[in-house]
Structure formats: structure tokens, C-alpha cells
Amino acid sequence: MTRKIFLITLLSLWCCKPLAAQQKAPRGQMQIVFDSEGKIIAFPPAVLKQRKEVAFKVKVPMAYLVKENSQFLKYLQQTQKTVDGTVNTVYTCLLGSAYTNYKSDLDDIVSAMEAKDFVTSQQQLTAPVLDANKYIPAGDFVRRMLDSQFQVKIYNGATLLVAIDLKRAYRAGDYVYFNAGKTFRGLDYKAQLEESTTAANEYKFVLQRHDPFNETVVDWYKRTLEGIRQVDPEEINSGLVHIGDPGASVFNTSLRKLQQLNAWFTGWLWYTKGVLTLNPFAVPTEDALTTLADKIEERTIHLAQLKEREQFIDSCIAQLRAREHNLDALSRLQAEAGTVRLGIKNDSAKLSTLNEAYAASTTLQAKLARVPQLYSGMLYTSTLGNITVMKQFDAAVKYRLVYKNAHTFIVNKWSKERVTEVPENEKVMLMVENTPTSVKLNIDEKRQDFDDLEAFTKLATELLAKVDFTSALSATSVSGLEAFTRALANKGGAGAVFGGPIGGKPANCAVGGLAQDMLVLLAAKADGFALPHDLEPITLKDATTTDYSAYVQQAALDKYEAPFRDSISIQDVTKPSAAKDVAKSFLKIGALRHAQIAAGIAIARKPVSTNTIDTSGNGFRVSASDNASNAIVGFKLYPLKTYNRDNSIIPRYPLRRLSVFGGFDMLHPLNNFYLGGAYDIVPGLAFTVGNNYYKQMAYTVANNKVTDTKTRYASGGTFYAVTVNPILFVQIIKTFFK
């Protein structure tokens, strides 16, 4: 008891540090979070930039890990009960002195794993107590449970690019997070090297669960088989044949031969719950596995022949009885009939046993080897010139549209617009996440009209339209705006684990004892089944089906000319005769334009005065004007086509808001020209700065008469302007300066 307390204390102090508190994702990292069933509960962003790191996480309840720990623990507890029973003296005799250490270590491991906080507080992967005995893979199981239970595989087409083990990262309340990050930069290059027909930015990811118990058993099976290869199979066969011999010499020789399997026997006690075994999965012999179909057919034919013979004998017996003579022949036929019936019974039983053993062994090994595929999804990375939008729906929550920010979970207008309004040059993937395998979906799309007028212009125009306008736009109105603006301007492991027999010299057990009885029974059970040296390792295989997946369909945006509205209907077609719509959504596809008309007010940094002489009517009138503030109209030319529906002040596409502006004075088109650069604060509202060129008149006056006039354009210096859509500009003038 003192040793147990010491080991448990050591486990707690040396490796059972509390799990780290919940951690925030590193800056710039995107997260995809799954629950323990494999459903996505935190989604990737609508646009996944290639340079961003994606963290795959699984949120696992504590109870989930405790249950897994209990599964392994129950095997050990049952083994503990068995070896403490009547077999104790037999195993001590048969397995040697190491059996005593085995029992002691088993008790320590059980005590440690029964500790209340064993799973919830253990930080390191192993402890001395878990690896104290090389015949109990407790440490291997715990490592698998805590550090390699979940794995994400990333593919490009059919090419596996990388497999990522999700390791236990931190604890948050009653949950443990398994986490690993991956940057997709470089994976596209690897995909190109593989010459895949799939686009380099298109990735399939699969979340797998590697069952810690099953894979511990599979790996243990492989390792123990490696350790048994050095044992001579002929000696094992001989030992099994003669182990029941009543002669002490023959028995002892057979016992020593079988004790070469002591490492195997001891290594499987934990799995068989304390029972000796030659074949833990009851695998039929290699011959039975390869020729089972032929044997079944052969016995079936034999059974048919026996039944025909039986019918013949029964017929003969009936005839002999009717004649009432030759009683000796009757007796012989009756005896033969009994033999035939017994043969039919034995053959039927043997056939049934072979079938059941084959089916059970195949089923068990398939279960152990199966790697469940919890989720299969798609990711599309984007670069500056190649953007793919992932418009996601959550089938687990009534097919709701996913537009929460996957990093902060804050619902915002921008994130919703990102999956409802896109420019014509982007691809959109319609993705229904968390679709159960049993559900079949279809996505239907229909084109509708859509006016992609800037949101700023539309909103402002709607507000101004509430005023009753009865007069048309006039020069007086524009002049009023110019005067108003001018006034403002002026103001301012591994390999084999077993070597050979454990415990030094084999024990010399007595003839007729429990050890001999147990081994005789073991030999009888081995008839028709493979011995350890004939067994083959189990190969892990990915399950052919996935519990949940993403149904993906590319939006048909290239069929129509932008702008237009794509009406989307998600349909459940699991039962084609009862197909139904489960969700509706839309996409607004905006056109990209190189040029836009703009109107607004330009203010000169240093106004320039110009004089005009009017000599009409024999007069001589001089008037002065300046370019301090003018209403202007012109064109904005965008090197990168502009997108009117990029409505946020923080732009999706900053470079698409830059333009070159060229315009002129709205009231006196030839008097002032404006050339500069513009930036759209939001589409429909731009700030412009540039140079003004004004019309300059040179007069030659003689005797109060203009004898010559020359016209040229001079630089008026820097101007600043605010421009809007002409539709809105007209509304502003009519509202405030009519």
C-alpha cells in the first residue's frame, strides 16, 4: 500500500500538472472547431487567405475522456480479479517469477488510473507507473488518448499533402481542446508538383478519430507478433500435442517448449481479462482463411451425399421389415444409418464453427482496424488576384447561413455582406456544412434582376427623396452651393517488446495439476485456429464513409452578365418523391467598372482671380471672378475596376477605390479643368486632390478698346474636392439650394 501511495503521489507531482487555461488564438490565426462527434461548431472565414494559419480544434468534454479511460481500466480491473483467483498459483508456476512483478505493477496501474483526477489533470503524456510493466500497454494507451486521438488529413484531389496530429492544448471549464495549426502557403506549390488536376487552392480536409483503445490493441498485436517470431513453431506444435501426456518426462519437456510463449501469454492477460490465449482474436488457420469457401462447398456436397445414403438405407430398412428376413443385414444398415446421422451432425457443427469463427474474427479485426472519418470538408484559399468566397450553411442548425466571424464569433455587417454580395470576378462555393451521410442535398439557382447602385448613393437619395421637389436643377441653384462652399472655405517507440521467456528458468509443474489441465484445454481450443507464429498484423484502414461532410457546389456566376441576383434554394432530396426546400438565400453579383461619372464641389487651395472685359454696347466693363469653389463634374478612371457594393469604410479591396479624376466646371465648362487622383471613402463618395487649370484671358487695350484677345490655360494650383454620384449631387442641390 505504501508503494502504491508513493507512485500515485509521484504521478501527481511529476506529470499531473493542471491543464493550461483557455488560450486565445494567436493574431492572424483562423480556427475551425469541431465537437467530439465531428460536427463543426466554429467555421472558417468566408475568405481564407493563403498566408493565414488555420487552427483545427476539437472540443472534447471531460466526460468523453473519462469514459475512454474507463474502457481500458475495466479490462485491467477484470484481469486483476482473475489473476487474484484460483489461477494465481497456476500462473506463478507456469509464467515464472516475473508474474509476481506483473501482479504488483498491475495493481499500481489500476490504482493510478482509478484516481479521480487522472484524466482531467494529467499534463505530461506518461508517468513511470504507466510504463512500469512492459506487458501492460497503459502508457501507450494514455499517449494515444491525449495526444494522437484526432488527426486532420489535407488533400489536393486524391493527393495527401499533410497529416496533422491534434494535440491536447488547453482546458476550458469542462472541456479539453485538441489543437494544431497549419499554414496553407506552400501546400499549393506541393499540389502543383504533384501535377494534380485539382485547382491548387482547393483542399479537402478529413477529421479522423484514432480510437485509443482499438489502436493500442492493434499496435500491441503487431509488436507482440514481432517478439514471437524467434520462437520455433515446430517446438510449439510439439508441446501442444504432448502436453496432456501422463508421463512426467514428456509433460515437462512439453511444458518447457510452451513456456517459450510466456512473454506472449503474459502480454495478452490484460486484453483477455486474465485468460491464457494463443490467439486473442480467434483467427482461423491460414489454410482455413484461404480455402474456407472450398471447404464449405466440399462439406455441403458431403452432407448431400450422406443424406442420399441415409435415404437409401431408410428405404432398405423399410423393405427388409416388410419381408421380415435377413435381420443381420437390417442390423448392419441401422448401424450405418446411425453413423451417417452422427457424421451429418459432426460435419454440420464443424461447418458452423468455421463460419462463426471466420465471421467473428473478421468482424472484430475490421472493427479494430477501422479509422472513423468524422468529417470531410473543403477549404478554398485566396490570393490577391484569385479570390474564392465560401458561402456556408450549417445543416446542424436548420441550415442557417454562417456569417459569424470564425475568430471572434462577433456578428457584424461586413461578414454578412461578404457572403451575400460579391463582384463578378470572384468565385463562390456554396457549402452546406455538417451534412449527415444519410442526407442527400441539391442546390438550385435562379437569376433575378439587381441594381448594383452604391449603397451610399441609394441611402442618401432615398432620404432626400422624402422632400417634395418641384423645380428643376438650375444654374442659380448650383451657384448657391458654390457660394456656400466658398464661405466655408474662407472660414477654415518501438520495435519488438518481447525477447524470450520471462522469469528465468521455467517452472517444473507437476503432472496432473491445474497447469497441465489448463494447457490441455488451451491445446484443444487451438485446433483449427492459427498459432501465434502464423498470425499476421492488423492494418489500419480509413473508414469508407464519413459521419458528416460538406455538400459543395460552385455558384453558377459565369452564366449571366453582372449585375444580377442569384436566388439560392437548398433542397433535401433524400427521398426524391418528397423533395423539399430546407433553406433559401441569395447572392448579389456586382459589376466591375473602369469608369464612373462623379460630381461635386472643388475648392482651390489658393484661389486665383481672373478679369473679364466686356466691350459690348460701346462700353468697357471689367468683371472679376475666382476659382475658390466650383461645382464640377467629370470621370473617375479606375486602373483596377471598381466595385460599387464594397460598402464598408474599411474596404475589402483598397486598390479598387483608387482612381484618376478628370473633370470641368459644371457651369462654365471651358473655364476650369481639374485633374487629380481620387479615393473612394465608400463607393459613391470620394475625396479628390489634384491640380486646377483655369482659363486665362490676355487683352490688348488701346483707346478704351480691346484690340487683341489671347486665351491660354494656366495652372491654378492644388484643389481639393468631394464628389458623389451625379444622381445624389442633383438631389443635394435641389434640396438645399433651389
What whole-number distance in Å separates Cα of residue 184 and Cα of residue 524? 58
What are the cell numbers at 386? 484569385
What pLDDT does 496 receive? 39
Query: For residue 310, what is the enclosing H or E element?
Result: helix 286-323
Is 493 a residue whose pLDDT tops 70?
no
53 CB-contact burial (10 Å; exposed 0-12 / middle 13-18 / buried 19+): middle
Rounded mean pLDDT of 73-91? 90
Around Cβ 578, how many Cβ atoms within 10 Å?
8
Percent of the chain with pLDDT over 90: 39
Rounded mean pLDDT of 552-570? 94
What whole-number distance in Å separates Cα of residue 157 and Cα of residue 191? 9
Q: Which ranges in the chain are annotated with CATH 2.60.40? A: 382-452+546-590
Strands (E), 73-201: 150-156, 159-172, 175-183
What are the cell numbers at 53? 494559419
Mean pLDDT of the chain: 81
CATH of domain 382-452+546-590: 2.60.40
What pLDDT does 620 receive? 64
Higher pLDDT, 145 or 317: 145
Is 618 a residue whose pLDDT tops 70?
no
User: What residues are paired with 110 via a beta bridge?
Assistant: none
SS3 648: coil
3-state helix, strand, coil in the chain (%, to 5): 40, 35, 30
Question: What are 365-424's pLDDT values in tens digits?
Answer: 889 999 999 999 999 998 888 899 999 999 999 999 997 654 444 445 667 888 999 999
Is 439 a residue whose pLDDT tops 70?
yes
What whole-number distance in Å separates Cα of residue 621 and Cα of residue 637? 41
What whole-number distance in Å separates Cα of residue 362 and Cα of residue 399? 40
Is 146 a residue whose pLDDT tops 90?
no
Question: pTM here?
Answer: 0.78
Strands 29-35 and 53-61: parallel
Contacts of 568 (CB under 8 A, 6+ apart): 430, 443, 444, 445, 555, 584, 585, 586, 587
Strands (E), 83-174: 150-156, 159-172
What pLDDT does 515 receive? 84
Query: For residue 226, what is the enclosing H or E element?
Result: helix 212-228
Contacts of 148 (CB under 8 A, 6+ apart): 165, 167, 210
What pLDDT does 547 receive? 95
Residues recorded for the chain: 738
Across the beta sheet with 580-590, the strand order is 421-423, 580-590, 564-572, 441-448
Rounded mean pLDDT of 73-89? 90
Higher pLDDT, 297 or 36: 36
Inter-CA distances, 111 with 1, 70, 270, Å: 10, 12, 15
What are the cell numbers at 460? 442618401
290 CB-contact burial (10 Å; exposed 0-12 / middle 13-18 / buried 19+): exposed
SS3 110: helix
What are the cell numbers at 427? 468565385
Contacts of 730 (CB under 8 A, 6+ apart): 473, 599
Closest CA to 150 of 197, 211, 103, 229: 211
Annotate 437-476 with DSSP letters as a single string.
Answer: TT--EEEEEEEE------HHHHHHHHHHTTS---S---HH
What pLDDT does 384 receive? 82
What pLDDT does 4 receive? 44
Q: Which of 272-276, 283-287, 330-334, 343-347 has the lowest mean pLDDT?
A: 330-334
User: What residues are paired with 584 via a beta bridge?
Assistant: 569
Question: What are 445-474's pLDDT values in tens digits?
Answer: 999 999 988 888 888 887 777 655 444 455
Question: What are 169-209's pLDDT values in tens digits?
Answer: 887 888 888 888 777 766 655 655 555 667 878 999 999 99
C-alpha distance across the termini of the chain, in Å: 99
Cβ-contact 20, 169 below 8 angstroms: yes
